[in-house]
Amino acid sequence: MSSFHTDEYVHFLHGVTPETAEKLTYSGTRFLVGEDNPAFDGVFEFCSISAGGSIGAAQRITSGAADIAINWAGGLHHAKKREASGFCYINDIVLGILELLRTYPRVLYIDIDCHHGDGVEEAFYTTNRVMTCSFHKFGEYFPGTGSQEDKGRGKGKGYAVNVPLKDGITDDSFRSVFEPVIPPKTNIPLILLGGGGYTVKNVARTWTYETACALGMDTEIDPNLPWNPYFEWFGPRYRLEVLTNNMDDLNVKDGSIDGVREAALQQLQELPCAPSVPLQDVPRESLRQHLGFGKDDEEARDELDERLAQHTRYLYDLQEDIHSSEESDAWDSDESASNARRGGRSVSSSRETAASGRKKRISLLTGQYFDVADHHDFDFDFKSGAKRRFFPCPEPRSPWEDMGGVDDAVASRMGVVRGKYGGVDLSVLMERGGRDEYLMDEGHEDEEPIEP
């Protein structure tokens, strides 16, 4: 999962529960934003099954074990690098494509879900090795992206193809725009992924028929459903096909589908020749096996990482508690300067927010737009290229800011550097970090113990 998603996001998914979601997401401002992505029991197992299926399908293709691979549990195309979106927590599609790119120079991703495949497009927006092509409903509709003006950037300019459609699209109308943009090709390795759906019985019908098409049995399959434990769900007709609706096809009614098709074809014609990608041998075994790491080594490394994380978290919590409880004359003397610093940062943050021009999010559940809290208010400050940041401080200010002057701040920092902190040897402090034993200064006996 970490080949695309950040380590801290994967770590979050591994530990989040419905009971801890409010705290771990900072009241729904990180990781699980909005009402579309609730935390539920077994979320990490669900993500592992979905992602593992798509990665496994890609490995079957690259190893030559299959020319068609299917993972109907995959297709979660809205998930972002460090955030869930639209009921998608892990982007198994991106993980599968990354696995394919280890062997193949180029990959074509075709998305026919009703919603725009924004997560996959965003992941490969600047590369010419992956072309994303999405056919989707566009307008006041989740996720609100997928305009034909979005064509990629840098080396990836032109390799993001969007075909926005309106309500009431029929089979004939869809075929009239799909086939010119995606002409039929044979003998190309293929992976089929799911993506969910709101009407369960129609999803089952669709996946069954698509499986038959992949096997070349679409003309042989019986349209009458056989008896099964869920037979009553498919009444009253009990047949494979899904009935068409009686909505007006707005794409034909206003003639917009012709302009959409022409714009997509024009974009494809303007593309240069297929990029040349140097190929190199890629080990068939996993990276862990290739490097000679055994299972015991991996478990030992994971345990060490977890212990280090506990120790570091404990140190940070202790720092914040000690400095927030200090009330001295020096603090009072610097209070005006501290207020000035806070005021300056508030103005700066407001300017950054105003200048950023962020778009509001649209909810998949309600279809309504909502505001997302600015991460500047929580001191997250993600750095470009910085992948690991396990323990962000939820407070709006740094704990060093109001310590009572530069001298006290320097003295405290030097105490840590020299191996002493609060009168306790740093090695002893690390050994007890995250355990049931708590360390307290002599002047803080009446305080509550600090939770690790």
Specify whether 122 is located in the same domain as 180.
Answer: yes
149-197 confidence digits (pLDDT tens):
999 999 999 999 999 999 999 999 999 999 999 999 889 999 999 987 8
Task: Just list the catalytic residues.
Answer: 78
In a domain, residue 274? The reply is: no
63-86 confidence digits (pLDDT tens):
999 999 999 999 999 999 999 998
Which structural domain, as residue segments, surrounds residue 201?
7-269
276-312 confidence digits (pLDDT tens):
666 555 556 655 565 565 555 555 656 666 666 666 6
Specify whether 132 is located in the same domain as 74.
Answer: yes
Using CA atoms of 117, 118, 120, 121 in order, give the dihedral in degrees to the nearest 10: 110
In a domain, residue 234? The reply is: yes
CB 85 within 8 A of CB 79: yes
In a domain, residue 365? The reply is: yes
Assign residue 77 the CATH number of its domain: 3.40.800.20
Q: Would you place residue 107 in the very low, low, confident or very high pLDDT band (cuts 50, 70, 90)?
A: very high
426-448 confidence digits (pLDDT tens):
444 444 444 444 444 444 444 44
CB 1 within 8 A of CB 99: no
Q: Which of 307, 314, 32, 66 is nearest to 190 (CA)?
A: 66
The amino acid sitting at 139 is: G
In a domain, residue 1? The reply is: no
Specify whether 251 is located in the same domain as 313.
Answer: no
SS3 122: helix
64 Ramachandran zone, left/alpha/beta (phi>0; psi -120 to 50):
left
For all residues of the chain together, what is the average pLDDT?
76
**In terms of pLDDT, which residue wins out, 348 or 24?**
24
Residues near 294 by beta carbon (within 8 Å), at least 6 away in sequence: none
**In terms of pLDDT, which residue wins out, 159 or 242?**
159
Identify the domain boundary among 253, 269, 285.
269
Angle between helices 43-62 and 92-101 (to 10 degrees): 30
Q: Give CA–CA dist 342/265, Å, rounded.
A: 54
CA distances from residue 418 to 412, 425, 430 in whole angstroms, order as listed = 10, 9, 14
Specify whether 75 is located in the same domain as 209.
Answer: yes
DSSP letters of 178-236? Answer: HHHHS----S--EEEE----S-HHHHHHHHHHHHHHHTT-TTTS-SBPPP-TTGGGGTT
Specify whether 168 is located in the same domain as 19.
Answer: yes
Query: In what side-by-side order are the strands of the sheet with 160-165?
Result: 107-111, 130-137, 160-165
In a domain, residue 283? The reply is: no
pLDDT at 298: 53
In a domain, residue 276? The reply is: no
Identify the domain boundary among 269, 285, 310.
269
Structural domain count, the chain: 2
Specify whether 264 is located in the same domain as 407.
Answer: no
In a domain, residue 282? The reply is: no
Specify whether 326 is located in the same domain as 440.
Answer: yes
In a domain, residue 305? The reply is: yes
Specify whether 124 is located in the same domain as 212.
Answer: yes
Q: Which of 112, 109, 10 is nearest to 51 (CA)?
A: 10
Specify whether 239 is located in the same domain as 323.
Answer: no
- Tell me the pTM: 0.66
Strand pairing partners for 109?
A: 132
Specify whether 260 is located in the same domain as 389.
Answer: no
Mean pLDDT calculated for residue range 382-391:
39
Specify whether 162 is located in the same domain as 52.
Answer: yes
Specify whether 192 is located in the same domain as 303.
Answer: no
